Amino acid sequence: MRARATPLTAWLLVAAAAVVFAALLSISVGTRELSFATVLDALVHFDAANPDHLVVRELRLPRTLAGLLAGVALGLSGAVIQGATRNPLADPGLLGVNSGAALFVVLGIGTFGISSVGGYVWFGFAGAAVAGGVVYGISSLGRAGATPVKLALAGAAVSAALASVTSALLLTDTTTFDQYRFWQVGSLTGRDAATIAGAVPFIVAGVVLTVIAARMLNALALGEDVARSLGQNVGLARAVCALAVIVLCGAATAIAGPIAFVGLTVPHVARMLTGPDHRWLLPFSALLAPLLLLLSDVVGRVVARPAEVQVGIITALLGAPVFVWLVRRKKPVAV
């Protein structure tokens, strides 16, 4: 076990260093050309009268922090939902959180006149929590409880119903649609300190839940009967995992919108390094996901200068080929 842990610890440190580099790159690169010395000076010796310092502290730093938080949440929630359902193609949207967040954001725009990203956060998180709770509640009905198959079916049904309602509302209100479409694509632009601060407690709570769920997920991966024989409360394990996914994915969706493929693909990349042990898989997923998200955001800033391509488009372009590869694999991925 120690021989196995040593190279994994080394790889974990490499991943952490890569995330730090990606964060510095995210703060340094943008439409406005800034030297690394200027960026460092803005971080250490902030001058409110210096426009370059304002760009770094008021625009790029919150954007980078949003990418880090959303990435951690998406990576962890993807690994948890794949482990809990034993479905290698599951993603955080399986519990309907994306559809719920989208519906509530539309209601917030159309009914309450919300127009700021800070306002979207609370409506998005509330919608994700409600939808996730409904899906888990429906799948829990019956003697067997929330089995992986029932979770998938309930999630698909609730997501389809919520998406239909969302589309109906948007078709009748073009003003709401004009505002909603910028949130829907997935973006880190325009996030401020208040938005970040509002999401931090939820993500911290989600991280704590995933730490609790790590050993439970290892037991569930062996099958329900084996998990019960090992003394695992399967129903409690599923409930903890579902709550972790709802909290994490709800917060990530509220911060950045529905970012596609990060929660699906990152756990598979992490699993290639760690194997099926969730005690290693979860921290690797928590590092590789923000790495992917920040690098995708940087690419989006430079490929279409002076305009930007939103990060949700870049992750979809990168993730779609990986998804096709996963589907076409002859052997299933161990979870």
pLDDT tens per residue across span 267-286 = 988 998 888 889 999 999 99
Q: Look up residue 91 and give its amino acid.
A: D
**Of 79, 4, 59, nearest to 269 (Cα)?**
79
pLDDT of residue 86: 82
Q: How many residues appear in the chain? A: 335
Could you report the per-residue pLDDT of 19-51, keeping only the tens digit for each? Answer: 999 999 999 888 787 888 888 888 888 888 888
Asked if residue 310 belongs to a domain, the reply is yes
Give 9 or 192, the one with higher predicted confidence. Answer: 9
- Give the residue carrying structure tokens 């929590």: 129
Question: From CA 158, how far away is CA 152, in angstroms rounded?
Answer: 10
Asked if the structure places residue 254 within a domain, the reply is yes
Torsion of CA 176, 178, 183, 186, to 10 degrees: 150
Q: In sequence order, which ranges of the chain are alpha helices (DSSP H)?
A: 2-28, 36-44, 51-54, 61-85, 97-112, 117-140, 148-171, 174-184, 193-220, 224-229, 234-256, 262-274, 278-302, 311-328
Answer yes or no: is 60 within a domain: no
> How many domains would you assign to the chain?
1
Q: Could you tell me if residue 133 is inside a domain?
A: yes
d(CA 169, CA 209): 35
Tell me the pLDDT band of 333, cut-offs 50, 70 and 90. very low
- The pLDDT assigned to 327 comes to 67
Q: Is residue 196 part of a domain?
A: yes
**How confident is the model over 195-199, as a mean pLDDT?**
82
What single letter denotes the amino acid at residue 141? L
Predicted confidence at residue 332, as pLDDT, reads 46
Q: What is the pLDDT of residue 4?
A: 61
- Average pLDDT of the chain, as a whole number: 85
Does residue 326 carry a pLDDT above 90?
no
Backbone angles phi, psi at 48, to 5 degrees: -65, -20
Higher pLDDT, 304 or 131: 131
Residue 334 lies in a domain: no
Give the CATH number, domain containing residue 90. 1.10.3470.10
pLDDT of the residue at 334: 44
Domain with 83, as residue range(s), is 2-48+66-328
Instruction: Report the alpha-carbon angle 88-101-318, nearest 5.
Output: 45
Is 53 domain-assigned? no
Range 165-177 average pLDDT:
88
Q: How confident is the model at residue 295 (pLDDT cuts 50, 70, 90)?
A: very high
The highest-confidence range among 186-195, 206-215, 224-233, by mean pLDDT, is 206-215
54 occurs within a structural domain:
no
